[in-house]
Amino acid sequence: QVQLVESGGGLVQPGGSLRLTCAASGSIFNIQAMGWYRQAPGNERELAAVMTTGGSTKYADSVKDRFTVSRDNAKNMVYLQMTRLKPEDTAVYYCYGLIATMTHYGMNFWGNGTLVTVSS
């Protein structure tokens, strides 16, 4: 129906940068919000950053001033630019979309996740 595919994860040293990319495809009518959640080992999934189609953003306090979420609405893509990465940013990062399909209004969709490891 709707697929979200992430890319860009990997191993990075503390203080380094990484950019995640997510593309949405399928039976999309419109996208109300897209962004990123993350889940560290032993922890629950938590919001990292999200952006509405209107441009409003929300960030977790732990990533403010280090991460930047952006979107290309024409391409149904969302990005997460991560800078000054810390070991505690290590997690699986999941692309998230609040998407209206051809048959349903405002459903939550998730990607399969991409692993980000911050370690020296």
Give the confidence band of 9 by pLDDT, cuts at 50, 70, 90. very high
Please write the tens of the pLDDT for every residue from 47-89: 999 999 889 999 999 999 999 999 999 999 999 999 999 999 9
Please write the tens of the pLDDT for every residue from 27-40: 999 999 999 999 99
pLDDT of residue 49: 98
Answer yes or no: is pLDDT of 21 > 90.
Answer: yes
Q: Which long-range contacts (CB under 8 A, 24 or more apart) does 3-9 make?
A: 3/109, 4/95, 4/96, 4/97, 4/109, 4/110, 4/111, 5/95, 5/111, 5/112, 6/93, 6/94, 6/95, 6/111, 6/112, 6/113, 6/114, 7/114, 8/114, 9/93, 9/114, 9/115, 9/116
Q: What is the mean pLDDT of the chain?
A: 96
